[in-house]
Structure 1
Amino acid sequence: MDANAPPDPALLRFRTRVLAACALVLVGFIALGARLVWLQVFRHVELDEEAVANSTGIVPIVPNRGLIVDRNGILLANNYAAYTLEIKPSEATMPLPALVDEVAKVVPVTARDRRRFQKLLDEGKSVGSIPIRTKLTDEEVARFTAERFRFPGVDINARLFRSYPWGELGSHAIGYIGRINETEKTQMEDWPDDEQANYRGTEYIGKLGVEQSFEKELHGSTGAEQVQTQASGRAVRALASEPATAGNVVKLTLDIKLQKLVEDLYGNRRGAMVAIEPKTGEVLAFVSKPTFDPNLFVDGIDPVSWKELNESPDKPLLNRALHGTYPPGSTYKPYMALIALETHKRRPEQSINDPGYFWFGNHKFRDDKEGGHGVVNMYKSIVASCDTYYYMLAADLGVDTIANYMAGFGFGQPTGIDIAGEARGVLPSTRWKRETYHRREQQKWYAGETISLGIGQGYNSFTILQLASAVATLANDGVRMKPHLVKEVVNEIGRKPRVVPPQEMGRMNVKPENLAFVKHAMEGVNIEGTAAAAFKGAGYTSGGKTGTAQVLELKANEKYHANEIDERHRDHALFIAFAPADNPKIALAMVVENGGFGAAAAAPIARRVFDYMLLGQYPSAEDMAAVQQAQATTPIGTPRTADAAWPPANVGPGAPPAPDDPSLQANLAAARTMTAAFVPRR
C-alpha cells in the first residue's frame, strides 16, 4: 500500500468509533468511581442506617397488666401466660372459612371458637390479628409449628391473659377487660401522642368497673424490642430491647369475704347492696345481683353467651347498685323527720291520730296498717313506719322544701364514686318537673303529687349507692364523704403505695340534737320496731329503717295481695342501717327486688353483715339457706368464723396466689420468655 495514499475512510470511521467507545467507557468508569466514592465516603453513615433499618424492626413490648387486690390483699384480678393461635386476615391466602377448616384439622377448633372469631372479625374490620384458639397446650403448639408453612397468615403468639380467679364474685365492681374495638380506636386518636405511643401493641383495655376507670394505672408502660427481620418481614433475632414496666397494683376498699357473704345471702334473688365506712367513704361491699363471669370477656365473648347475658330478663349486666334506680319507700322517713325538726314543722312529742288513711282532695292515701297506728308521735312514726304521719308532713312541707334538704344528703345527684356509669336518679321539685316535661299541662306541679313523696314514692327514684351515701352521712353526724372503691395504688417501681385520701363532700347544717333524735329513733326500729325480729339478740346496738316500695301503682280502694301479682311486679324490699349505733363503723343500703316487706327480705341480710363486720361471725349453712328463701329473721344454727368460710369452694380449686407469690412471678417470667420465642411480625 502506498504510504502517501489518502487514509481509507472506512478505517477512519472505525478508529473514530473505537475512540468514542473507549471515551464512553472511560466516562462510565469515572462516573461509577465517583458514585462509589459518594456512596462509600460521603453517605456511608446515612446508608448504613437505612440498611440496618431495612433488616430490623421495632416491636412494642406490651406490659403486664397490674393486679387488683381487695383491702386485705386477696387477689381479685391477675394474669397468666398462654399460647394463642391467631389469624391475620390481610395475609391469608384462602377464604377465611376454608382456612379455619384447614387449621381445625391440625388444632381442634370448637363451635364457640368459630363464633367468637366471627364476632371479633365483624367488630374490628381493621384489626390485625384475631385469635381463633386460645390457651393451646404444648402438644398443640408443637403440632401446629411443624405445619406452620401451610398456613400463611396464621401464627402462634404468646399472650398474657387476664384472670378473675373468683369468677362472678364482685364482677360489677371489678369489671373486666376486652379487645379494643373500632370505636375505642377512634377515641384513642384524640389522646395525647405520648399516651397513644404507650398503647402501641395493646389489644385489650378495661371495659367496666375498676378495670375501666383505672385503665391508665393498670396498663403500665410499653417497652420496645429491636429485632432483625427477614425479607418477608418475619423477625428472626432480637437485637436490643427496652423492657416494659408492669402496671400498678390497685388495692380496693372492698372486703371480698364480705362481698361473698352478701352475694350468697341474696341467693337467686335480684337486688343490690352498698356498704360504706361512714368516716372515710370507703366502700366495703358493692353488690349487684345477679352477677356475671368476667372471664367470659377476656378472650372475646362468643355470640351465644353474649345473647344469654344481654337478653336475660334478670339483666345480669346491669349494675343495679350504680345504675339501677328505685323509689326509696319508707327508708325516706328518717330524713323527712329530720327536715320536720329543722323547719320546726313538727316537734318530737307532737302527735297525730292515725285512722289508717289520709284524705287529700278527693284522694284517699292509705296507711299500710289497716285501722291505723292510733296516736303517733315522731319516734313512733319511724319505729312503726306510719305512712299517715308522713303524708301529712309532706303536705305541710311542700315539694321544694323537701328537695332542698334532701339534696344535702346527695339524693338525686351523682356521688362521684371512682367508677363510671353512675345514674343521677330523680329528686323531684317544681323546677325538675318544668325542665323534664315539654307540654305546659305536664309542667305544673300539683299539690297532690307531694303527698306520696313523704313515704318515698311518687317521682322519687334513687340509686342504692345514693341511699348508702345518705345513711352514711346520717351516721357520720351530717358529714358527707365521697364514696370510693380504690384504697391505694401501689407503684410497680419501688412498690410505694399512693393512698387515696378520704374526701369530704359537704356538711349538713343541722342541729346535733335533731340528728341524735333521728338516729335514736332508728335504733328503736331494730330494738322494738319493724326490724326487731332480725336484730333480736345482737351483741351490739344498731340503727335501721325498713322500706317497702311499690312497683305497680294501685287503683283507688284496691288492696295489695302479693300472691295474686306476678313476681316481677311485687313490691321491692329495702333497708338502710348503721352499726354500732354509738360509733358507726359501717352503714349500708340495700334492695331485694320484688322481695316484699323490707323487714322480712332485707333486714335479715343486714343483720348477718353486721355480725360479720363487728363480731367476725359467718352464718351457719342452714341459716344461709333460710335467708336466701326469706325464711329467717334471727340467725339460726351455730355461726362459723369468717376465716372458716374462706376460700369458697364453689369458685375454684383454692385461693389464687398473692401478688408477691413466687409461683405467680414465675408465671409472668414464663410469659416474657414465650413472647421472646414468638416475636410478632412487623
Structure 2
Amino acid sequence: MSPNKRITMHDHAAEASLFKRRALFTFVCVIGLLSILLGNLYHLQITSYKDYATRSNDNRIRIVPLPPSRGLIYDRHGVLLAENQPFYSLDVVPEKVKNLQATLDDLAKVIPISKEEREDFTKALKHHRRFNPLTLINRLTEQEVAEFSVNQYRFPGITVEAGLKRYYPYGDVLTHALGYVGRINSRDRETLERTDQWHEYAGTKFIGKQGIERYYEPVLHGKPGHLEEEVNNRGRTIRTLEVTQPTPGKDIYLTLDLELQQKAMELLAGRRGSVVAIDPRNGGILALVSSPSYDPNQFVHGISGKDYSELLNNKSRPLINRATQGQYAPASTVKPILALLGLEEKAVTEKTRIWDPGFWQIPGVEHKYRDWKRWGHGWVDVYHSIIDSCDTFFYEMAYKLGIDKISHFMNKFGFGESSGVDIYEEASGMMPSREWKQHKYRQPWYIGDTISVGIGQGYWTTTPLQLAAAITILANKGRRFTPHLLKSIKNEDGSLNTPVDEKSPIVLKNPKNWIIINEAMRLTAHKSRFTDAKYTAAMKTGTAQVFSVAQGEKYDHDNVAERLRDNALIVAYAPYEHPRIVLAVVLENAGWGGANAGPVARALLDEYILRDNKGKSAK
C-alpha cells in the first residue's frame, strides 16, 4: 500500500440519521400538501358546492324573464276602458348585420326612420351586447310591417317583433280617473328596489304612473314568468330547457259610468272645470271629470319633448286633475251645511226670521258686508236663506257660531282633509281655524275672517270631490262612505269581490234638522232649474269670487279679466226621496253659478235618472 494513498472512512450512523431526517421532512411535506389538496377538494365539492354550481350554470343557462299581461279595466257595466293591444317593433341584432350604418340607410328607403329614432338607437348601441336584439323603431304600422316583410330577405339580423301595450279607447274622456302607464324610468326603478319589488318587474317595461293605473298597480301588473335557455360561451341560445308562464294581472271593474262621464265631458266642452258624481248608496264615484284633458295614449308610447312641453306650459293646465286637486272657495254651495250647524247649535231655529236690508255689520263696526242682492231680501227664515242664498242671514249666523264650531263641524263633512279616494293625486283643501292661521301667517283670527267663512269664502277652499262627498252625507242624513272608484276585482275563479268602506255616521242632537235642510234644497231646485223635471231633485248653487271687490265698488263681469271672473258652482242630488246620484259641478271663471253651472247639472241628472237602457242607472 502506498504511503500517499488516502483512506476515506464512512460514518454510517451519521448518514443513516441524515437520511431519516430528510425522509421525515419529505413525508411531512407530502402529508401537508395532501392535506391542503384534500382541504381544497372538500371546500370545492362540499362547502362551496352550491356557489360554484350556480356560477357554472350561469355560464351555461340564461334566465329570460317573461312579462305578464296587464289586467284590463272596465266600467260598472262591463264596458272596456283600458285594454292591451298588440304592437309591432323593429329589432336589430347588431352582430348579424355586416355594415350597420349602410344597412340602416337602405332600410330607411323601405320604412321611414326618424332622426330621433336613429340617434337613440346609436346611443343605446354603445352599451349593448351585440348578440342581443335592440329596438330601432317602437311602433310600426300594419303597412310598414307589410312593406318590411316583403323586403326582409335583404336585411339579415333585422326582425319584426310583436308585443302588447296599453291602449285607452276613449282617449281624454277618462284620463284623470284612469291615469296611464309609461316606461319604467330611473325613479321608478329606485322605488321598486327600495321596496324590494324589482324582481317582480323582470322583463316589464311599463308601470302605472297616474290615477287608477298607479293606485292598483300591484293588482293590475301580475307576476312575471321565465324562460330557461342553454347558451354557449358567447351567450347564444342553444336550446330551451324550461318555460314558466307568467301570471297575468287581475281585471278590475270601476264604479264609473262611461255614458255619464262622456256626457259630462261633452257638456264642459273644453271649458276649465270639473264634474264629480257619486252614488250616495255606497260612495261609488259615477263620474270624475277634469277639463281640459289630454290623451293618455301618447304617454304610453313615449311622449315627445315638444308635446310634453306644450301640455306643461298650457295656461289651462290640462295635467292637473281639477276634480281632486283643484281648490276653490265653495261659496254658497255650503250654506245648507252651515244652516244645519246653526240649527244644531240653536243659533237659529226653523222659525227664526231676520231682516235683510242688503248688508250686515259687526256690532260697533262701520264696515258693511254686502249681500249679493244690493237692496236685500227683506224678512228671511232658514228656508229662504237657502232658497234665495241670502248672505246676510249667514253673516249673522257665522257671527253667533264662531270659527271654532264651524271648523269642527265642517271637518266631520270631510272639508280640509283628504277624502281617501283611491287615486294618489288629491289635495286636502283648506278648512281654516285659529290654529291654522296662527301657524300659517303668525296672525290671530279676526271676527271678519269668520264672517267671510260664513258664506263659503275667505280662507276656505275645497275640491269638487270633497264638495260632492259632503253633499252626499247631507243627502244620506249623516250616513258616510269613503268615495271610491274601485267596484270589484275579478278573482281567478271569476267571482267579483266588492269593497265598500262605510264610516261611522254623523249623529245630530235633533235628527229633524236633516229634514229641514234637505227640504230647503228641494224647494231651491223646484223654484229654479228643476221646475219641469220628471223627478224631484235638491240643489244649491254658488258663485265664488276669485278676487275681492273694494268696499262700495260693484263687480262688473264684462270689464273684469277672464281669469279673474267668478267661478260658477252647483251641488245637486236626485231623486229627492231616495237619492241615487249626487253632483258637484265647478266651472272656472264662468260667472253666475245658477246660470252657468246649473244647465250642466240638469243635463247630467236627466241623463242618469231618465236613461232608458235596462235600468243601468239603478244598478
Calculate the TM-score normalised by the size of structure 2: 0.84
Q: Report matched runs for 1:59-78 at 5 Å.
A: 59-78=64-83
Alignment partner for residue 376 of structure 2, among 355, 372, 395? Answer: 372
8 Å CA contact 1:56, 1:228 repeated in 2: yes
Please report how far the alpha carbon of residue 135 of structure 1 lies from its aligned counterpart in structure 2 after TM superposition: 3.0
Q: Which amino acid aligns with 1:248?
A: K
Task: Verify: 1:536 aligned to 2:531, yes or no.
Answer: yes
Percent sequence identity over aligned pairs: 40
Relative contact order (alpha carbons < 8 A, sep ≥ 6): 1 or 2 greater?
1
Spell out, residue by residue over 1:14-63, the C-alpha distance to the aligned partner (whole angstroms, 9 max, x if none).
xxxxxxxxxxxxxxxxxxxx9xxx9xxx99x9999877653431111101
Secondary structure at the counterpart of residue 321 of structure 1: helix
Work out the number of aligned pairs and report it.
Answer: 562
Change in 2 beyond 3 A, CA 1:402/1:239:
same
Alignment partner for residue 430 of structure 1, among 434, 451, 467? Answer: 434
8 Å CA contact 2:93, 2:157 repeated in 1: no
Which piece of structure 1 moves more, 51-60 or 264-273? 51-60
Alignment partner for residue 149 of structure 2, among 142, 148, 155? Answer: 142
Spell out, residue by residue over 1:584-641, the C-alpha distance to the aligned partner (whole angstroms, 9 max, x if none).
1111111011111111111211112211222116xxxxxxxxxxxxxxxxxxxxxxx7
Change in 2 beyond 3 A, CA 1:308/1:300:
same
Spell out, residue by residue over 1:354-406, the C-alpha distance to the aligned partner (whole angstroms, 9 max, x if none).
11111232322111112011111111000001111111111111111110111
Q: Report matched runs for 1:381-420 at 5 Å.
A: 381-420=385-424
Q: Distance in 1 between matches of 2:400 and 2:567?
A: 27
Secondary structure at the counterpart of residue 168 of structure 1: helix
Alignment partner for residue 58 of structure 1, among 36, 41, 63? Answer: 63
Change in 2 beyond 3 A, CA 1:135/1:236:
farther
Alignment partner for residue 342 of structure 2, among 328, 337, 340? Answer: 340
Q: Distance in 2 between matches of 1:131 and 1:505?
A: 57
Which piece of structure 1 moves more, 172-181 or 555-564? 555-564
Q: Distance in 2 between matches of 1:320 and 1:209?
A: 13
Q: Distance in 2 between matches of 1:346 and 1:48?
A: 84
The answer for the alignment partner of 1:452 in structure 2 is: 452
The answer for the alignment partner of 2:171 in structure 1 is: 167
Q: Distance in 2 between matches of 1:347 and 1:74?
A: 49
Q: Which amino acid aligns with 1:603?
A: G
Change in 2 beyond 3 A, CA 1:131/1:461:
farther
Q: Distance in 2 between matches of 1:402 and 1:222?
A: 53
8 Å CA contact 1:76, 1:165 repeated in 2: yes
8 Å CA contact 1:543, 1:577 repeated in 2: yes
8 Å CA contact 2:360, 2:369 repeated in 1: yes
Alignment partner for residue 304 of structure 1, among 300, 303, 306? Answer: 306
5+ residue gaps, structure 2, are: 1-36
Q: Which amino acid aligns with 1:374?
A: G
Bigger radius of gyration: 2
Note the aligned Cα RMSD (angstroms): 3.2
Q: Distance in 1 between matches of 2:236 and 2:112?
A: 26
Which piece of structure 1 moves more, 101-110 or 584-593? 101-110
The answer for the alignment partner of 1:186 in structure 2 is: 190
Q: Distance in 2 between matches of 1:542 and 1:112?
A: 56
Q: Report matched runs for 1:20-31 at 5 Å.
A: none
8 Å CA contact 1:109, 1:133 repeated in 2: no
The answer for the alignment partner of 1:580 in structure 2 is: 575
Q: Distance in 1 between matches of 2:380 and 2:139?
A: 67
Change in 2 beyond 3 A, CA 1:245/1:372:
same
Change in 2 beyond 3 A, CA 1:471/1:95:
farther
Secondary structure at the counterpart of residue 602 of structure 1: helix
Q: Distance in 2 between matches of 1:339 and 1:205?
A: 46
Spell out, residue by residue over 1:307-338, the C-alpha distance to the aligned partner (whole angstroms, 9 max, x if none).
11111111111000011110001001101100
Secondary structure at the counterpart of residue 172 of structure 2: coil
8 Å CA contact 2:85, 2:165 repeated in 1: yes
Please report how far the alpha carbon of residue 113 of structure 1 lies from its aligned counterpart in structure 2 after TM superposition: 5.3
Alignment partner for residue 551 of structure 1, among 546, 549, 561? Answer: 546
Change in 2 beyond 3 A, CA 1:166/1:94:
farther
Q: Distance in 1 between matches of 2:568 and 2:99?
A: 56
Q: Distance in 1 between matches of 2:101 and 2:387?
A: 68
Task: Verify: 1:604 aligned to 2:599, yes or no.
Answer: yes
Spell out, residue by residue over 1:487-521, the C-alpha distance to the aligned partner (whole angstroms, 9 max, x if none).
00102x32232221343254343522001100000
Please report how far the alpha carbon of residue 107 of structure 1 lies from its aligned counterpart in structure 2 after TM superposition: 2.9
8 Å CA contact 2:276, 2:289 repeated in 1: yes
The answer for the alignment partner of 1:13 in structure 2 is: none
5+ residue gaps, structure 1, are: 1-33, 618-640, 645-682
The answer for the alignment partner of 1:651 in structure 2 is: none
Q: Report matched runs for 1:181-220 at 5 Å.
A: 181-192=185-196, 195-220=197-222
Q: Distance in 2 between matches of 1:510 and 1:109?
A: 72
8 Å CA contact 2:212, 2:423 repeated in 1: yes
Please report how far the alpha carbon of residue 148 of structure 1 lies from its aligned counterpart in structure 2 after TM superposition: 5.1
The answer for the alignment partner of 1:107 in structure 2 is: 111
Q: Report matched runs for 1:201-350 at 5 Å.
A: 201-235=203-237, 237-350=239-352
Please report how far the alpha carbon of residue 136 of structure 1 lies from its aligned counterpart in structure 2 after TM superposition: 4.7
Q: Distance in 1 between matches of 2:401 and 2:315?
A: 40
Q: Distance in 1 between matches of 2:164 and 2:538?
A: 48
Please report how far the alpha carbon of residue 301 of structure 1 lies from its aligned counterpart in structure 2 after TM superposition: 0.6
8 Å CA contact 1:113, 1:302 repeated in 2: no
